């Protein structure tokens, strides 16, 4: 099968289209012919080897963390899907590889594609929608009346998180550039802070939850806008010991991760708030919950641009250089 393969970490020239063996299909797997996949910042970090200490993939590695496609084979124990089903998924972190013609995915990580979406639109959703769900529903338990700040509201995670938070009944603030203010308001943001003109930490206060997708100074400032007992959940900040335990990391790696986040956790504790790092997990059950919201018109994907498969490297460069105006960049296999 055709695939985008990483031969060497940290070397763009070492990432190229090539031929790889077709996937082996286990008893609980579905084999999906991929119609579309989307590009995430995670793909860039994996290509560069940023996570090789905690996600030790064997090279050559097929990149890609989102897919939409058609089931072409099912394993002997599969009960949820049949050949011909249109599906979408974020494969488990140990089984990525959606920049390819085919992928085998465990049936528990797959859901039927929203009927109202194209393949390209569906492929843009799994990773960012699951991230928003696991942050706002599973971890923060957002309820009506909660005040939620979502950073980078026009980004892949932000566009979905705003809509989900509004569906949950929250009062939503977000940060965005001047040209994207109208978009994030249309998605449901109640307050938009133009980060080119204002410092969000000087105009926002008393928030229950912050979803941080930027890290760095933005994360540190986010601690100041929380009310006592509030929480900041970051997908871009330093990993913590809880994440190390989820990975099943050894004692040394758990200590390293705890040390990396020590300063942030200490500052949070001093303010009477909490910090946690989120690395989203694959979940077909959660995707089914999200599918119902999509088909009910509560959440809609935002797709910036679609590239053909033979321009996947260009699509990644487009994302890496910040050229996307809003939402996700998609690669189509057709």
pLDDT, tens digit (0-9, with 9 covering 90-100), for 167-213: 999 999 999 999 999 999 999 999 999 999 999 999 999 999 999 99
Phi/psi at 94 (nearest 5 deg)? -90, 0
Does the pLDDT at position 249 exceed 90? no
pLDDT at residue 309 greater than cutoff 90: yes
In whole angstroms, give the CA distance from residue 248 to residue 101.
31
- Residue indicated by tokens 């289209």: 17
CB-neighbour burial class of residue 315 (10 A; exposed 0-12, middle 13-18, buried 19+)? buried
Q: Do domains 2-124+301-332 and 127-277 have the same CATH topology?
A: no
Q: Which of these, 312, 333, 310, 324, lies nearest to 128 by C-alpha position? A: 324
Residue 334: is its pLDDT beyond 80? no
User: What mean pLDDT is predicted for residues 323-332?
Assistant: 95
Query: pLDDT by residue (tens digit) across 219-244?
Result: 999 999 999 999 999 999 999 878 87
pLDDT at residue 176, rounded to an integer: 97
Instruction: State the pTM of this model.
Output: 0.96
CATH of region 127-277: 3.40.50.720
pLDDT in tens, 274-285: 999 999 999 999
Which pLDDT score, from 0 to 100, does residue 241 have? 78
CATH number of the structural domain 2-124+301-332: 3.90.180.10
Q: What is the pLDDT of the chain when averaged over all its residues?
A: 95
Asked whether the predicted pLDDT for residue 35 surpasses 80, the reply is yes
Position 51 scores a pLDDT of: 85
Lowest average pLDDT, out of 195-204, 250-259, 294-303, goes to 250-259
CA-nearest of 90, 105, 100, 102 to 5 is 100
Is pLDDT of 11 > 90? no
Find the DSSP H helices in the chain: 41-48, 119-123, 126-133, 156-167, 181-187, 200-203, 216-225, 241-247, 251-260, 262-270, 284-295, 312-320
The 10s digit of each residue's pLDDT in 87-125 is 999 999 999 999 999 999 999 999 999 999 999 999 999
List pLDDT tens digits, range 39-70.
999 999 999 999 887 788 999 999 999 999 99
pLDDT at 55: 83
């Amino acid at each position: 099968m055709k695939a985008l393969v990483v031969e060497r970490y940290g070397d763009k020239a070492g990432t190229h289209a090539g031929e790889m063996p077709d996937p082996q299909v286990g008893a609980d797997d579905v084999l999906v012919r991929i119609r579309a996949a989307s590009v995430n910042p995670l793909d860039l970090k994996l290509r560069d080897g940023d996570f090789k200490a905690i996600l030790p993939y064997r090279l050559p590695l097929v990149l890609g963390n989102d897919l939409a496609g058609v089931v072409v084979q099912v394993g002997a124990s599969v009960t949820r899907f049949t050949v011909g089903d249109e599906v979408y998924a974020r494969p488990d972190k140990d089984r990525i590889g959606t920049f390819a013609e085919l992928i085998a995915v465990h049936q528990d990580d797959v859901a039927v594609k929203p009927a109202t979406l194209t393949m390209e639109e569906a492929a843009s959703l799994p990773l960012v929608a699951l991230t928003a769900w696991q942050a706002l529903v599973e971890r923060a338990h957002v309820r009506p009346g909660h005040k939620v700040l979502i950073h980078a509201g026009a980004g892949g995670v932000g566009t979905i998180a705003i809509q989900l938070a509004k569906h949950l009944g929250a009062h939503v603030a977000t940060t965005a550039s001047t040209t994207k203010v109208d978009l994030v308001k249309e998605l449901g943001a109640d307050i938009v802070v133009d980060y080119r003109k204002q410092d969000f930490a000087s105009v926002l206060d008393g928030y229950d939850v912050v979803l941080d997708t930027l890290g760095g100074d933005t994360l540190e400032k986010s601690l100041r806008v929380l009310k006592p007992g509030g929480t900041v959940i970051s997908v871009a900040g330093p990993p913590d010991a809880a994440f190390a335990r989820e990975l099943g990391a050894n004692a040394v790696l758990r200590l390293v991760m705890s040390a990396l986040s020590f300063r942030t956790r200490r500052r949070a504790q001093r303010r009477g708030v909490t910090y946690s790092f989120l690395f989203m997990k694959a979940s077909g059950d959660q995707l089914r919950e999200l599918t119902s919201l999509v088909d009910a018109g509560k959440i809609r994907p935002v797709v910036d641009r679609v590239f053909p498969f033979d321009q996947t490297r260009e699509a990644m460069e487009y994302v890496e250089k910040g050229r996307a105006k809003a939402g996700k960049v998609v690669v189509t296999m057709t």
